Amino acid sequence: MEQAHPHLLTSAPLATRSLGTALPMLAAALLLAGCVRAPSGPMAASPTAAAAPPRLVVFIAIDGLPMRQVTAYRDQLAPDGFARFLDRGAWFAEAHYGHAFTVTAAGHATMLSGAYPHRSGIIGNDWRDVQTGAEVYCTGDTAAHYIGHATKPLDGTSPKNLQAETVGDVLRRVDTRSKVIGISGKDRGAILPAGKTGTAYMYMGSTGQFASSTGYMAAHPGWVDTWNGARPADRYFQTEWKPLLPEAAYARSIPDGQPWFGPAGGQLPMRMGKAGDTAPNAAFYTGLLKSPFADALSLEFARAAIAGEGLGRDEAPDILSISLSGHDYVNHAYSAESRLSHDHFLQLDRLLQAFFQQLDASVGKDNYVLVLTADHGFMPAPEVSVSEGRTAGRLSGSQLLGKVNTAVEMKFGVPGLMRLASGASLSVDRQAATTRNLDLAAVADVARTALVAETGIAAAYTRQELASGSRAGAPFFAAMQNSWNAGVSGDVQFALQPYFMLGNAVATHGSPHRYDTHVPILVYGPNWVRPGRVDKPVEVVDIAPTLARLLRVPAPSSSEGVLLPLP
């Protein structure tokens, strides 16, 4: 029997796993009992075996939702939002990411590919080209531009950088009639789950509309133009975001208006649009992202997509991926411990309830499967951690890089040899090192030594160590290997100590610690999934092969997951 992952209950990393080393499939009874983790493969005997594939898989990602919020506010949920999963679906109490740099793009690339960044190539939201130092955006593609909207060079317009296929790509290869659509407030939240052959629609902060890009089509279908033409975002102009519940209901959260929220404050009710503005403008449309209203628009656009594309209407299964971005913006601005985050979660709950009930009516309650997860969790704000007696703080990336470069210059006599390649790695300036005939590995070793000497750094490993696996078993090494891609990543990968963060945001994410890796995996579909809580540790990479099994298609080729032990 496979051992549980005791490290999932700590801040240590998850072990790297391979389908090639997974345990053989045991009898169906053992699988159904959740006693083993079966590898992906042909359909096993199970409660789902008698059911035809769902006509529609609705995959929902809540950007920046830590599992702790789902359970902490359970008593305040509506009857049919998150409670649909917790009371009548299957939910996994110990679901985690197994990569170290837990950010939006890396999570969204993992969810439906089943591949960690070392295989997907999506190591972060952005990075620098190792050879040239040029900036790279995760979904950037200068060959494509937004339809009907201005496009900047680093805007996200296609899945060009994604190196792994998704469940949707496999589904469309098996049956070209199947449709795969991704929708999100963020380009990366729409593009990466939709995969190489799906279609992505992104919220445009300049207009409040949704747009695809020429990487997918030359022009929008009529239903998109109709939805955009109605300008539904405009109805939120000068609307207030008001708390759902009486003040006493938020006693477990941090009150509004904390001094560390910054100059913008943070107080409910919160008005959408500046006082004195007479009409919606780009600042208003962008501001909707940090509220429940852009998420409401994403779900409204999803309803239009279901109707306009006829999703779930025939025997060819479809996938609709919806990534709701607002929670991440709220948590960055005010922290997951704030009343604003608490209320935003409850607002999402009510929005999901309405959406699920409309799915029941439009698609048919027995025709679809719902899956909900998050791209990452969220750390407590340092001020919260300090108030609770923890050592915590913010680190400056530029100061950290400066100290490392000072140490490297003292050794090699060359200034500025190291670059901050992404949020969790440094790279050697190849041109400068080659000109001076320096050994890249030797430079990286000195940089690594300087990094780990700094306050707030938990671990750092070099390209050579990560590629060879020579530090297997060292702190966070497996999770950092999962985050490191040989062709894309830098030369020194690092992780921060618990409760430390890079940058000046109120709070953030991006670590291998429990508060960032622990996310919900919630599944609902009575024809395919029996209800129940599962305490067995699972990983987000397990979603892709599980959905592939339900859809009766092969798992994505780069998938590292095993079947979720559904009740």
Percent of the chain with pLDDT over 70: 91
CATH number of 56-381+514-551: 3.40.720.10
Can you give the pLDDT at residue 264?
Answer: 72
Can you give the pLDDT at residue 40?
Answer: 38
**Segment 76-92 mean pLDDT:** 98
Question: Is pLDDT at 521 greater than 50 in this prediction?
Answer: yes
Q: Work out the pLDDT band at 347, boundaries 50, 70, 90.
A: very high
Can you give the pLDDT at residue 262?
Answer: 81
Q: Work out the pLDDT band at 275, boundaries 50, 70, 90.
A: confident
Percent of the chain with pLDDT over 90: 89
Residue 248 is classified by DSSP as: G
Can you give the pLDDT at residue 222?
Answer: 98
Q: Taking the chain, what is the end-to-end CA distance rounded to the nearest angstrom?
A: 18
Can you give the pLDDT at residue 25?
Answer: 31
| Mean pLDDT of the chain, nearest integer | 92
Please, are residues 502 and 508 in contact by the beta-carbon 8 Å criterion? yes
Can you give the pLDDT at residue 38?
Answer: 43
The residues of the chain that CATH labels 3.30.1360.150 are: 393-502
**Segment 307-311 mean pLDDT:** 98
Can you give the pLDDT at residue 429?
Answer: 96
The pTM of the whole model exceeds 0.85: yes
Question: Is pLDDT at 13 greater than 80 in this prediction?
Answer: no
CATH number of 393-502: 3.30.1360.150
Angle (CA) 222-223-227 rounded to 5° is 120
Can you give the pLDDT at residue 10?
Answer: 34
Per mean pLDDT, which range of 40-49, 146-155, 484-493, 548-557 is the poorest? 40-49
Please, are residues 57 and 368 in contact by the beta-carbon 8 Å criterion? yes
Angle (CA) 508-512-518 rounded to 5° is 80
Q: Work out the pLDDT band at 206, boundaries 50, 70, 90.
A: very high
| Joined tokens for residue 315 | 């025997």
The residues of the chain that CATH labels 3.40.720.10 are: 56-381+514-551
Question: Is pLDDT at 29 greater than 80 in this prediction?
Answer: no
Distance of CA 211 to the CA centre of its chain: 21
Q: Work out the pLDDT band at 165, boundaries 50, 70, 90.
A: very high
Please, are residues 168 and 197 in contact by the beta-carbon 8 Å criterion? yes
Q: Work out the pLDDT band at 422, boundaries 50, 70, 90.
A: confident
Question: Is pLDDT at 15 greater than 60 in this prediction?
Answer: no
Can you give the pLDDT at residue 30?
Answer: 30
| Residue where the block lists tokens 């089943």 | 114
Using one digit for the tens of pLDDT, what is the confidence trace for 429-482?
999 999 999 999 999 999 999 999 999 999 999 999 999 999 999 999 999 999
Strands 368-373 and 240-241: unpaired
Please, are residues 277 and 284 in contact by the beta-carbon 8 Å criterion? yes
The per-residue DSSP string of 286-300 comes to HHGGGSSHHHHHHHH
Q: Work out the pLDDT band at 5, boundaries 50, 70, 90.
A: very low
Can you give the pLDDT at residue 12?
Answer: 38
**Segment 80-99 mean pLDDT:** 98
Q: What is the largest CA-CA distance in the chain?
A: 70
Using one digit for the tens of pLDDT, what is the confidence trace for 93-110?
999 999 999 999 999 999
Q: What is the C-alpha to C-alpha distance for residues 34 and 530, in angstroms, rounded to an integer? A: 12
Closest CA to 59 of 103, 111, 102, 98: 111
